[in-house]
Amino acid sequence: MKNIVTTFNRSLGNGAAMGKAFKEAIDHVIAERDTTVIVKLINACKAKGDTQAERAIRVTFAAIFDGSKVTKTKTGGVAIKIKDATLSNAAVDTLANLVGDETSMRGANWAKAFAGDKAEAELDYIKAATNLLKRGFDPVALIAAIQQQAKQAA
């Protein structure tokens, strides 16, 4: 595990090498059910101020272990629980393919591979209205504007 973290730290500037080290870390988690190595990779990214690498780790890990929980510890660290998570073999295969093709962990192809389905978010009208009211909009004017637009749309 220490070798994985050291290799990852050295490769933070090289997206393809990062991916290879990350795959080794994932293989370790799958075999041992121990997420300490992933936490150490996240901490290494935080220590270097590399938010892009940290985000890539979190997104990829969440895709591989569907239902995993990332929590903050009392000391401000990170803990990852995979007890109730399910392993996505498709995501593991995708990871292996990306690493085999030497795809950069920092690149758009990596991000797209683990982005998942982006269904259009359903608009929460109550939340939107509350937001407008908090920002000082007149409720009567808002209702009138909505009614006017509804007439035009019909």
Question: In 10 A of CB 62, how many CB atoms?
Answer: 19
Q: Where are the alpha helices (DSSP H) in the chain?
A: 2-10, 15-32, 36-48, 51-64, 89-100, 108-114, 125-134, 139-153
CA distances from 1 to 34, 50, 150 (A): 10, 21, 60
Give the span between the Cα atoms of 129 and 107, in whole angstroms: 38
The tokens 């683990």 sit on which residue? 114
Please tell me the number of Cα atoms within 13 Å of 138 on its side-chain side. 4
Mean pLDDT of 7-23: 91
Entry pTM: 0.72
> Phi and psi of 97, rounded to 5°?
-65, -45
Residue pLDDT, tens place only, 35-87: 999 999 999 999 999 999 999 999 999 999 999 998 988 888 889 999 989 99
